[in-house]
């Protein structure tokens, strides 16, 4: 039997700031990818309901501004609450297609008020949520929208012959975040991004060489036609956003020797797939194995707190 695994990047656009319409698009993409035999399918960062592109274009740091408050309130309203079942349709699509799905969402946890997080949700082929990594540190203007996450989702899980982990966007630049997954035997790393080969081109090959792993980088698209019918302050927002596209893609796949299996793809919607072979990981790790013979746990120690952050702990 072949050990190969068919993986794919779903480079699609959201129906911007519309959770239900975007989730329907995700489920449709999963079903379509299954026809081609895809066994692991990943989507871009915060695809559901979309990346907060407006912040840097509309003076997002202005304090107590009615325009910013209205957009933020709409964004929070369209975020995903996993506990109330808002990802159930995606989980069911994963289950019926026997496919692992990694989906970027804006998450609004039930126990954390109305704060939202950029989360990479890993859904196993049996429809179970295997991990939910809330972005450890939102980048620059993202901090005006997203709260800081925790280490609860720094977990790997088995997908066929591979051990898979996932990080959000610039989390991938954090050496210790990468090391925490490598220490759990990761040999297929999924990096999700809002969109741009500027973000994915160099780091994807670097992470592959560092981890002697396959690295699948998945980006989103954002174009004029991806606007929904109505948004708060729509005319002002359209004027401020300017030229399109804001997210041109850039999805790609590098092998454990750093060579491209899929070079960065921009300005194109689609499901870009490849078959990967764990024997190539073993070949690459003959010389360098970052969590095996080339690690020095007697010298370096990494301690990771994977407890989920909560506002209070109650003893009854």
Spatial separation of the C-alpha atoms in residues 251 and 236, rounded to whole Å = 31
Catalytic residue among 39, 135, 171, 252: 135
Catalytic residue among 39, 45, 142, 210: 45
Spatial separation of the C-alpha atoms in residues 119 and 104, rounded to whole Å = 6
In the DSSP assignment, the letter for residue 83 is G
Spatial separation of the C-alpha atoms in residues 98 and 124, rounded to whole Å = 8
What six digits make up the tokens of 299?
């010298």
β 157-159/129-134 pair status: unpaired
Determine the Cα angle at 285 with ends 281 and 287, to 5°.
150
* Helix count and strand count (H, E) for the chain: 8, 13
β 157-159/162-168 pair status: antiparallel
Annotation says 225 is catalytic = no
Annotation says 45 is catalytic = yes
How crowded is the C-beta side of 222, counted as CA atoms within 13 Å?
25
Spatial separation of the C-alpha atoms in residues 314 and 272, rounded to whole Å = 47
Spatial separation of the C-alpha atoms in residues 69 and 211, rounded to whole Å = 42
What six digits make up the tokens of 39?
């066994």
How crowded is the C-beta side of 88, counted as CA atoms within 13 Å?
4
What six digits make up the tokens of 310?
């909560």
134 beta partners = 119
Spatial separation of the C-alpha atoms in residues 29 and 174, rounded to whole Å = 31
What six digits make up the tokens of 33?
């990818």
Catalytic residue among 169, 186, 210, 266: 169
Annotation says 169 is catalytic = yes
- Residue in 6, 78, 84 with CA at minimum distance from that of residue 47: 78
Residues annotated catalytic, as ranges: 45, 135, 169
């Amino acid at each position: 039997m072949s050990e190969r695994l068919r993986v794919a990047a779903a480079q699609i656009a959201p129906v911007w700031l519309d959770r239900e319409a975007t989730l329907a698009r995700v489920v449709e993409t999963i079903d379509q990818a299954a026809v081609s035999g895809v066994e692991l399918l990943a989507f871009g960062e915060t695809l559901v309901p979309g990346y907060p592109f407006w912040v840097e274009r509309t003076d997002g740091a202005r304090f107590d501004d009615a325009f910013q408050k209205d957009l933020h309130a709409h964004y929070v309203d369209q975020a995903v609450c996993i506990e109330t079942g808002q990802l159930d349709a995606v989980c069911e699509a994963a289950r019926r297609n026997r496919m692992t799905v990694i989906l970027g969402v804006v998450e609004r946890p039930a126990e954390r008020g109305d704060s939202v997080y950029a989360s990479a949700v890993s859904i196993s082929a049996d429809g179970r949520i295997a991990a939910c990594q809330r972005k450890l540190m939102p980048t620059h203007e993202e901090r005006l929208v997203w709260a800081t996450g925790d280490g609860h989702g720094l977990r790997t899980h088995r997908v066929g012959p591979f051990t898979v982990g996932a990080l959000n966007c610039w989390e991938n630049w954090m050496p210790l975040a990468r090391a925490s997954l490598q220490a759990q035997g990761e040999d297929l790393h999924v990096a999700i991004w809002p969109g741009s080969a500027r973000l994915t081109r160099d780091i994807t090959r670097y992470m592959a060489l560092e981890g002697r792993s396959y690295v699948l980088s998945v980006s989103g698209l954002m174009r004029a036609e991806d606007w929904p019918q109505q948004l708060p302050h729509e005319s002002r927002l359209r004027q401020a956003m300017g030229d399109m596209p804001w997210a041109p893609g850039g999805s790609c796949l590098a092998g454990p020797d750093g060579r491209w299996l899929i070079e960065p793809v921009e300005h194109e919607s689609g499901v870009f797939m490849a078959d990967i072979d764990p024997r190539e990981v073993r070949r690459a790790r003959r010389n360098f194995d970052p969590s095996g013979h080339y690690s020095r746990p007697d010298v370096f120690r990494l301690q990771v707190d994977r407890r989920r952050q909560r506002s209070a702990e109650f003893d009854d």
